[in-house]
């Protein structure tokens, strides 16, 4: 199972970017109450995203909205693990979005193909939890914590500081025995950045890829950086998000994390046809 991460990045995806569909399983996505209906929903949503062309799915059990409270590990496991077991029968690479070493460990045992840690594997025990496996690891930049990151984001040179953070974290992981080719990097759009910071990072994504030397994952979908320039509320940000995904791929992203899979896949197909002979 873990090997599907590398497969997702090679094969047909070596020339085409990977579209990773977002599957939120936070309680409000169990809006109809029961966990079972939630699982039914998760499975049908995953099948829909695969049919629409997603080759990876990101399963997240903890909301990371600015100011959101942290979820106890038992609760996060109770949300993530049933979904992971339900989805691992599908022909798709599975990414689990968590910062907790205990959740990482269980997710890997259950066959997760990638661990997606918005905290850059900085929690005590996080690197140990993922070391003895071969699953992919997404290393994301965040300034401060979800509780404080949007209070007053500040940088001297945001691109240089994000590059430096990623380089230091990659070296720390390699030092602790993590194979470098398991890692993809992510500037963390919206995690302790102003709109201007986010667009500077997007414009210089290729420099980030070159200077850190690893595949880039970009997650702009429906975020406030899209809303800020379109004036659209979250549910009306599809066109802006698709444009953001194209821009990210044009600037070197290998994986784009999106809500609107069908629209993004179609746009990337046309983009590819227009830019590759």
Ligand X SMILES: Cn1c(SCC(=O)Nc2ccccc2)nc2c(=O)[nH]c(N)nc21
Token pair belonging to 232: 């659209």
Residues 6 or more apart in contact with residue 202 via CB below 8 angstroms: 189, 218, 220, 225, 244, 247, 248, 251
Q: Does 103 bind ligand X (CB under 6 A)?
A: no
Token pair belonging to 190: 């919206």
Query: For ligand X, which is the closer residue by CB, 145 or 275?
Result: 145
Residue selected from 97, 106, 113, 260 as contacting ligand X according to rule CB under 6 A:
97
Query: For ligand X, which is the closer residue by CB, 62 or 106?
Result: 62
Q: Among the candidate windows 8-16, 70-78, 185-193, 269-277, which touches ligand X by CB under 6 A? A: 185-193
Smallest distance from the beta carbon of 65 to ligand X, in angstroms?
A: 7
Q: What amino acid positions are annotated as catalytic residues?
A: 223, 257
Hey, which residues between 105 and 124 contact ligand X (CB under 6 A)?
116, 118
Q: Does 223 bind ligand X (CB under 6 A)?
A: yes
Separation of alpha carbons 173 and 131, rounded Å: 9
Separation of alpha carbons 170 and 138, rounded Å: 10
Smallest distance from the beta carbon of 270 to ligand X, in angstroms?
A: 24
Q: Among the candidate windows 9-17, 128-136, 156-164, 184-192, which touches ligand X by CB under 6 A? A: 184-192
Query: For ligand X, which is the closer residue by CB, 130 or 274?
Result: 130
Compose the 192-221 pattern: x for residues touching ligand X by CB under 6 A, - for all others. Answer: -------------------------x-x--
Smallest distance from the beta carbon of 255 to ligand X, in angstroms?
A: 8
Categorise residue 252: left if φ over 0, alpha if ψ from -120 to 50, beta otherwise: left
Smallest distance from the beta carbon of 118 to ligand X, in angstroms?
A: 5
CB 123 within 8 A of CB 101: yes
Instruction: List the Cα angle 240/231/151 in 5-degree steps.
Output: 100
**Inter-helix orientation angle 73-87/101-109, to 10°:** 20
Query: For ligand X, which is the closer residue by CB, 197 or 223?
Result: 223
Separation of alpha carbons 51 and 187, rounded Å: 29
First and final C-alpha spacing in the chain: 34
Smallest distance from the beta carbon of 26 to ligand X, in angstroms?
A: 10
CB 54 within 8 A of CB 21: yes
Q: Among the candidate windows 8-16, 40-48, 142-150, 186-194, which touches ligand X by CB under 6 A? A: 186-194
Residue selected from 96, 137, 140, 170 as contacting ligand X according to rule CB under 6 A:
140
Residues 6 or more apart in contact with residue 133 via CB below 8 angstroms: 2, 108
Q: Which residues bind ligand X (CB under 6 A)?
A: 60, 64, 97, 116, 118, 138, 140, 186, 188-189, 217, 219, 222-223, 234, 257
């Amino acid at each position: 199972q873990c090997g599907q991460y590398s497969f997702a990045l090679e094969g047909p995806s070596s020339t085409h970017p990977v579209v990773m569909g977002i599957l939120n399983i936070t309680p409000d996505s169990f809006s109809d109450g029961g966990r079972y209906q939630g699982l039914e929903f998760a499975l049908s949503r995953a099948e829909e995203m695969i049919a629409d062309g997603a080759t990876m799915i990101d399963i997240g059990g903890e909301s990371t909205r600015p100011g959101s409270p942290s979820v106890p590990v038992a609760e996060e496991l109770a949300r993530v693990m049933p979904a992971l077991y339900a989805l691992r029968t599908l022909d798709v690479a599975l990414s689990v979005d968590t910062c907790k070493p205990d959740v990482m460990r269980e997710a890997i045992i259950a066959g997760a193909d990638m661990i997606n840690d918005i905290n850059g594997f900085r929690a005590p025990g996080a690197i140990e939890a993922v070391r003895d496996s071969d699953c992919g690891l997404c290393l994301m930049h965040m300034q401060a914590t979800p509780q404080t990151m949007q209070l007053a984001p500040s940088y001297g040179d945001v691109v240089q500081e994000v590059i430096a953070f990623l380089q230091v974290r990659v070296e720390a992981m390699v030092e602790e025995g993590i194979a470098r080719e398991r890692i993809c990097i992510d500037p963390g759009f919206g995690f302790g950045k102003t709109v201007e910071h986010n667009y500077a990072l997007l414009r210089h994504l290729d420099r980030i890829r070159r200077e850190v030397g690893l595949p880039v994952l970009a997650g702009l979908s429906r975020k406030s950086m899209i809303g800020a320039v379109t004036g659209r509320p979250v549910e009306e940000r599809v066109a802006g998000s698709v444009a953001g995904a194209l821009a990210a791929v044009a600037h070197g992203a290998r994986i784009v994390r999106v809500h609107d899979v069908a629209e993004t896949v179609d746009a990337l197909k046309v983009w590819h046809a227009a830019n590759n002979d």
